[in-house]
Amino acid sequence: MVAVSGGIGSGKSSVTASFKSLGALVADADVIAREILEPGRPALAQVAARFGDDLIREDGTLDRAGLARRVFAGEGADERIAALNAITHPAIERRAWEILNAAPAGSLAVYDIPLLVEGDYADRFDAVVIVDAPVEERVARLEGRGVAPEDARARIRAQASSDQRRAIAHVWIDNCGSADDLAQVCTQVWERWLTSDL
């Protein structure tokens, strides 16, 4: 079982998508995090109770950008992040392991998990692939998704550092080139490191 991780905006989702196209079964923590905060889910009610009912739109969906601003910015962010994680992480982890444990024999299960270092989960995996990119490039990518630069930097600061990630990495991918470059690197990692013993 393989973990793919990296800071927000690093390109880990692109790496995971490449592995999926090569045949991996994937559990994506970000996708699961969106699912558990859909209308009617218990985690959504807990988030609203902790961070404010005004974060729930008229249609019952979560104002994710508003939640991010409320949690990650300003004094006391560490406490708020811990409170949000206490609500969401158990539900995310339960669903992820359901998916991963259903992997057919002989296939590779990949967990796309942003907070691998922060959750101290690295020892649960046979290999850890870390994706990294320069901070300003990550900020620019997030800005392209509609995230304000100051919010992007706040989220990056709230996550583990590149040095902390490097300490647990079996494979390190610098995502500084084109999408084609990254796809080529992913294929090499897949063939040389991840599936050579399957």
Are the beta carbons of 74 and 119 closer than 8 angstroms? no
SS3 163: helix
Convert 22-91 into a string of H (helix), E (strand) and C (coil).
CCCEEEEHHHHHHHHCCCCCHHHHHHHHHHCHHHECCCCCECHHHHHHHHHCCCCHHHHHHHHHHHHHHH
Report the Cα–Cα distance between both ends of the chain, in Å, rounded. Answer: 11
Q: Is the whole-model pTM more than 0.85?
A: no
Burial group, residue 129, by CB count within 10 angstroms (0-12, 13-18, 19+): buried
Which amino acid, one-letter code, is at 142? Answer: L
> What tens digit of pLDDT does each residue of 136-179 get?
999 999 999 999 999 899 889 989 999 999 999 999 999 999 99
Per-residue model confidence (pLDDT) at position 119: 85
Q: Is residue 97 predicted with pLDDT exceeding 80?
A: yes
Confidence class of residue 53 from pLDDT cuts 50, 70 and 90? very high
Closest C-alpha to 66, from 37, 42, 93: 37
Q: Is residue 197 predicted with pLDDT exceeding 80?
A: no
